[in-house]
Amino acid sequence: MIYDEQLFELEDAVLNVVDSLEKSQLTQDYLKHYTSLEENHDVDKLVIALERANDKFEQVSKYGKFAPDFKEKRRELRKIKRQVDTHPLISEFKISETELQNVLDYIALDLSQSISKEIKVDAGNPFFEFASRGCGGSCHVK
């Protein structure tokens, strides 16, 4: 690769995009939610309880519904998973994370489409709006 002025201009443009993203309210919200999630002891306890319940369920799931306490372990896992998913800090974080990821996906799509419509972009999200142009989000998007 030859390093010329055009490459340095491109690098400057990328750094400007990164700087703009870092200063955006979307990124600030994401970082705020991430920090509050990391500092909350209730969330830590819930995550540990989820991991334990998942481990217990995996131990009996090998035997499927024939395991004596399969239904109880599955029900307990679902109960704790619901608590995790409905915890206000976790749900706020997940929303801000999805919003930021959507912006990053659109940026990647715009960059690739400006070069060629044939470049595939990994949406990584089956619910992403442009996923219908690809294979439903399970592969790359055209």
User: Any idea what the CATH number is for the domain that residue 69 is in?
Assistant: 1.20.1500.10
* Of the candidate ranges 14-18, 76-80, 131-135, the one whose mean pLDDT is the lowest: 131-135
> Can you list the pairs that 136-142 forms with residues at least 24 positions away whose Cβ atoms lie under 8 Å?
141/109, 142/117, 142/118
Residue 73 lies in a domain: yes
Domain total for the chain? 1
Residue 17 lies in a domain: no
Residue 126 lies in a domain: no
pLDDT, one tens digit per residue, over 80-94 is: 999 999 999 999 999
**Percent of the residues in the chain that have a pLDDT greater than 90, as a whole number:** 60
Residue 134 lies in a domain: no
Residue 128 lies in a domain: no
Q: How far apart are CA 80 and CA 138, in angstroms?
A: 28
Residue 124 lies in a domain: no
Residue 62: which domain range? 23-115
Residue 67, phi then psi, degrees to nearest 5: -70, 140
The residue type at 34: Y
Residue 5 lies in a domain: no
The pLDDT value recorded for residue 139 is 52
The pLDDT value recorded for residue 140 is 53
Cβ atoms within 10 Å, residue 128: 19
Residue 95 lies in a domain: yes
